[in-house]
Amino acid sequence: MQQNGSKKDRRHQVILDTLETNSAVRIGELAGMLGVSAETIRRDLQELEDKGEICRTYGGAVRNLVAEPILAERLTVNYEERKRVTFEAVEHIGDADHIFLCGGSTAMHFARALVETLRRDLTVLTISIGVAEELSRSPHIQTMLLPGIFDAKERVVYGPETIAAIEKYHPPLTIMSASALDHLGLSEAILVYAHTHAAMIQHSERTLVMIESLKFGRRALTQIATWNPRMHLVTDTMRDERIRTAIEEAGARITTADHPAVGVPLRAGQGG
């Protein structure tokens, strides 16, 4: 068993090394390179995807450039920055009476900020069960949980039914985060988020993006949006002049949070 495990570990490393120099690779190529069956490669790719190191494609795989821990692990990461960003973001929802709200740890922080500060009626359409649970604490917020296939790790729904439901609505505002941000736009490491968040952006009038500056200058697997005049970035600080210039030249807006975080940290079993 130990020998087989060692062989598998070596195969996994070869696959990762190959994807470092090739943006994508086919199952047949890997099978020939490693001298194993296509079925063995499929199992290897599944295990690597489960670890968040790659993303499988039809007939092959691509390297996950920005790998995300599961939701429970992300809720306490960059806590101060995320609290500052999300409390600032609440100040910029304007008079929108219904919004799309994405899934993920930043959305959980935003939901907490919304519950603690909002004193008017608002309808929130979301893919996140954790967000819906958090928002249920407010008497002012009506939450609609969109349908779809349930992802237990991220506590969100996704798939064709989710996209079809999103396409039925056209709220004035989408509020979202992403895995990474650079001068070209936003990108996402988690595929179940990428497609649904992109659909939310497409079917709303404007997008409020909440991302802490530690994610700047990075690129994740799937680009979900480019900078445009319908986008408003809220972040903790803006020190990357290349990114600032690209955003401003595209006509998008930038706001930096300038007040300290309030509230207490979210825990994995608390709304998420």
- What sign has the CA pseudo-torsion 95, 100, 105, 106? negative
Check pLDDT > 60 for residue 265: no
Between 70 and 209, whose confidence is greater? 209
Q: Decide if 267 is inside a domain.
A: no
Are 81 and 59 contained in the same domain? no
Number of domains in the chain: 2
Are 230 and 107 contained in the same domain? yes
Are 18 and 88 contained in the same domain? no
From 22-31, 36-45, 129-138, the region with the lowest mean pLDDT:
22-31
Mean pLDDT of 118-137: 95
Q: Decide if 266 is inside a domain.
A: no
Are 145 and 87 contained in the same domain? yes
pLDDT confidence bin for 172, thresholds 50/70/90: very high
Are 82 and 31 contained in the same domain? no
What is the reported pLDDT for 268?
Answer: 37
**Pick from 12, 32, 63: which residue ends a domain?**
63
We report the CATH number of the domain holding residue 39 as: 1.10.10.10
How far apart CA 251 and CA 242 sit, in angstroms, is 15
What is the reported pLDDT for 251?
Answer: 97
Are 47 and 123 contained in the same domain? no
Q: Decide if 46 is inside a domain.
A: yes
Q: Decide if 269 is inside a domain.
A: no
The rounded percent of the chain whose pLDDT value lies above 70 is 82
Q: Decide if 272 is inside a domain.
A: no
Q: Decide if 261 is inside a domain.
A: no
Check pLDDT > 60 for residue 136: yes
How far apart CA 128 and CA 194 sit, in angstroms, is 14
Question: What domain range is 207 assigned to?
Answer: 72-256
How far apart CA 162 and CA 46 sit, in angstroms, is 24
Q: Which residues, listed in sequence order, are joined to residue 158 by a DSSP beta bridge?
A: 149
Q: Decide if 271 is inside a domain.
A: no
Are 232 and 142 contained in the same domain? yes
What's this model's pTM, rounded to 2 decimal places? 0.69
Mean pLDDT of 223-232: 96
Between 104 and 173, whose confidence is greater? 173
Give 54-83 pLDDT, tens digit per residue. Answer: 767 667 776 555 545 454 455 455 567 788
Helix (H), strand (E), coil (C) string for the chain: CHHHHHHHHHHHHHHHHHHHHCCEEEHHHHHHHHCCCHHHHHHHHHHHHHCCCEEEECCEEEECCCCCCCHHHHCCCCHHHHHHHHHHHHCCCCCCCEEEECCCHHHHHHHHHHHHHCCCCEEEEECEHHHHHHHCCCCCEEEEECCCEEECCCCEEECHHHHHHHCCCCCCEEEECCCEEECCEEEECCHHHHHHHHHHHHCCCEEEEECCHHHECCCCCEEEEECCCCEEEEECCCCCHHHHHHHHHCCCEEEECCCCCCCCCCCCCCCC
Are 9 and 105 contained in the same domain? no
